Structure formats: C-alpha cells, structure tokens
Amino acid sequence: MYGCSDAKARNEFARTRDGAAMAAIPATLAPGNTVKPCPLRAPLVVTVVGLPCRGKSLAAHKVARHLSWRGESAKVFTVNENATNETLSEISLFFKEGNNVAIIDGMHLTRASRQTVATFCCEAVFHHLLIEFTCNEKCLQENVADTVQFYRNLDQNIDWERRFRESNDHHAPQFEPCSALEGPLITVNNSEDSMYHSVTARGVRGAIQTDILGVLASPVIRQQTFYFSRHGESEYNVLGRIGGDADLSSRGMKYAERLARQLGGPGSAPDCPRPKVVSRNYKSNPKYISTNSIWTSELRRTIHTVQNIPGPRAAIKDLNEINAGICEGLTYEEIQERFPQEFAWRDQDKFKYRYPHGESYLDLLQRVDSVVQALLTNTDVLVVSHQAVLRCIMAYFKGVKPDDVPYINVPLHTLLIVRSYGYDFVVETVPLKVECVDTYRIQPKVKYRIPYRR
C-alpha cells in the first residue's frame, strides 16, 4: 500500500532500505481530513505538462499504445489546456468500467491546474503521475514544422505555423515548472537524437509507472516506415506441421525471389522501397550510423527468405517462432489425437495457453517487447519472422487487445508495410501473388470449458 499524495500539503520523501524513493504521507492535513490508503493496483492518472509543440501528444499516445499492448487498459484524454471537471468525470466513469490508466494530454502549465488533478486523485484514491516535457530550440523548430505539415493536410486555409508560434509565445510566460513536492514526476527533455534526449524521474513507483518511464526513455521518431513478412512457405507448412527448422519449399523459394525484387534485390525497379543501410539508431555521433536494416529469426526459413535482398542483416533469437514444446513438428490432427486435453485447453484460451515445455502467446508478447522497442528507435527496417511472432508485433501497430492477438491474420507470401501517421500507424497489405498454403485457423467456438492444469 502507498500513501495517496495531497498536492495541497508539502510532501516528504522517505527512502526505503533498498534505496527506492517513494512519496510519503503528506506532512500536514486540513483539520478533519484523513489520508485514504492507495492500493498498489489502484487506477493511475497521468498528467502531461508542457508548452505547445514539445512532443507531448506523440509521447502520450505512444505510452497508451504500449500499455494497452501489454494488457493494461489505457486511454488518452485530450484537453486544450487544462483538465476540467468534465474531464475528471469522464475519467471516473472510465475507471468504473474497469479500465486503469488515464493520460490527460494537455498543457497544465500552472501549479494550480495540476493541483486540481492531484486533489481529484487523492479524494478518489487514484495514483497520480506527472510527466513534464521540454525540448531545445532545434527540436522545437522540427516539431513545429512537422505539426504544421500534418494540420496543413487537413486544412490549407489556416496559417498553422503562425498559429502555433503565437500559441507558444502566449503560453510561455505562464509556465511554472513542476516541483518534486507535487508528487511522482518524470521529466523528459525531448529530442529525436538520443544524444540530446534525456529522462529523469523522482518518486516513480510500481510496475505501470516504471513501464511508462521505460517507454519515455527512447526518443519518439516522428516519421517511420517498417516492412514485415513471414518467411516463404516452408516444407513443414506444406505438410501442416508446426515449429521446427524446416527449409523453404519450391514455392517459398519463389516468394524469396519475388520479395527481393520488391525490396531492391535482383530485377527490382530503381524506385522500389529498400531497407536502408543507415537508420536513426542514434547510439553515437555522427547523427546517422550504419546499422542492421534486415532482421530475421535464427531459423533457416527466414534467413533464406532474405538471402537475395541487399543490406546489412542480423539474426535475432527473440524473433524465433513460438516454442511448441512437446508439440514441435506435429500437425494439429496429431496433437488432437495424442494430446486431446492440451488441444482443448489451447482452443479455449489460445493467448494464455502454454505448450508443455514450450511457450504461450503471453510469453511471446513479453519476448518481442525488446524487438518492438528497438524498432521504434529506427525506420526503414525489414523484419522477416514467423506467424505467431508477427502477430504479437502487428498487435502493437494495429492496437489489438492481447486476447485477440492469436487470431490476427498474417498470411504467407504477403508484405506488410507499416507507416506512422500522426499518433497512429497505417498498415498496407501487399500480396506478392505466389501460391502457398493457408495456415490460418479461425477461432473455434468453445462449447464448454475444461479446467486448466495447475
């Protein structure tokens, strides 16, 4: 249990024996007031703070997308400047419906405006986290230019650059930076360049707040394009077997050739898209460095799928197919015959079911988290992997809830192109028209539930 912070009072900070700081109970309280204990899993309200064009909205939506992908129920509440009573009422209703993270995307430039949210959280027994965004002049100019271009596509009759400049000049004198006394705080000095992007934290506690801190630690790249594909049809695909390290079938080899032509290999057009040798990885100066732009699993069928595509590459263990344990190399018919109860358990909860001595989709989602976070610091990367792995990755970009991840259709011999668009991502499906088997299994209707093994 944690003490619920009251922004009216001066908070003291107590340091636990392991060195982790947490906000203590307010030192002073109004007569008759008591502090309600705030449970560890109480809902969290995140207040976004900062002047216009500091990258607040992109980061807020990135955090919400990540938390939702990992199984939390998060939503961004957009306000012009400050949270209003109507906003707070909407958040209360949102939490009553069983959701647990509300991110208020506004400016909240004054301590009084942040006090309103802090008091609401204390009275309702919610956790509260402040995230303050700043940036240097160069980053500000880039943010303004990018934001102007986005809104200009929506309405060309407005001088958006002038509007944003005037808004920034108007609000700058009102800004009161956050104080450590206001509660748990993350401060982000925003930049696309990791040499200048920095994050500091005070009083952050619990898994969700720590997860948010991890997401904010990486720069937000405003314009990104990614290419995803399953390996070409494998010999096991033709036989209906799962897992293993089978090589490509003859049709899978044909797909590898077609994919290479699509992405800059032999026979490709001069203007075709190509994974770039340089990308925004920002781990050292100069600004752009060489990096691996083609990522595959360690299995033969993915490595051979990209063998004719030019560019540096890396075989990544976390992109290996889901481990089917005792079911590796079997067909679904064989699994149903040999392990009927396992087959039934998997059908009734495919996301959480774990193959004996193998993995579940839940395990896989945790495994590919590092891959997704690495992707988000890059652009123009080709990822060739497997059905279950790409389901988990595409769930992030499509905003799919965890329970629905096992039923995302990622067909063979199809290129998926993901492009960032504002706060969202757009997925383009490009079938390369090479015949192959269909490995998709529709979600079965479970008539009755079988108690799961412990």
Residues annotated in a binding site for substrate: 230-237, 280, 317
Distance between CA atoms of residues 157 and 56, nearest Å: 25
β-strand 127-135 against 185-190: which pairing, if any? parallel
Which residues carry a binding-site annotation? 230-237, 280, 317
Would you tell me how many other CB atoms lie within 10 Å of the CB of residue 112?
11
What are the distances in angstroms from CA 449 to CA 163, 344, 345, 361, 442? 58, 9, 8, 19, 18
In degrees to the nearest 10, what's the CA dihedral of 225, 281, 311, 432? Answer: -20
> Using CA of residue 75, residue 73, residue 179, residue 221, what is the dihedral sign?
negative
> Using CA of residue 402, residue 407, residue 412, residue 413, what is the dihedral sign?
negative
Tokens of 202: 């005070």
